[in-house]
Amino acid sequence: MSKKKTNEEINKEIPKKPPLLRFTIVDLSGLTVFHRSFVSEVLDEVLFSGFSAAMIAFSRELGSRLFSIRMEGVNYFFQTKGDFIFVVGMYTRVHANSARRFLRLIDELIKWEELDGYLNKAIYFQTENFQEEAEQIILEFQIRFKHLIRT
């Protein structure tokens, strides 16, 4: 039987300069439903979520799809599905294919049929099961790609 790791134990395993800087799930209205950051936050999570939703809405208005933007030496990758926007911020040395892989792993983690049963779908991302599994995917990503970042 495996022992469940505490957040403190998980944070000790994450490299000091992690390749994945932040991961946010936003609903289309701009509300943050899940957020993890692995750097000192200078970014207002609420403002960033609203900005992400606005950028997605703007790109749709133009008839295009926003995949990534670069700000302050960080690449932000976007994926939308259903009523949600998945945003992952990574150092520029981490390739877009790695971001796509990470986002695919998160997408596969989500039990979309179960999520449809929630009256307030955002609550699904607050469940202990989702959060534990997402934390594990994030940790494995951080460890696997830590070689891309100089410490």
Domain residue ranges of the chain, discontinuous segments joined by +: 15-145
Per-residue pLDDT tens digits for 67-100: 999 988 889 999 999 899 999 999 888 888 989 9
User: How is domain 15-145 classified at the CATH fold level?
Assistant: Beta-Lactamase (3.30.450)
Q: What global pTM score does this model have?
A: 0.83
C-alpha closest to that of 146 among 9, 3, 16: 16
d(CA 122, CA 146): 31
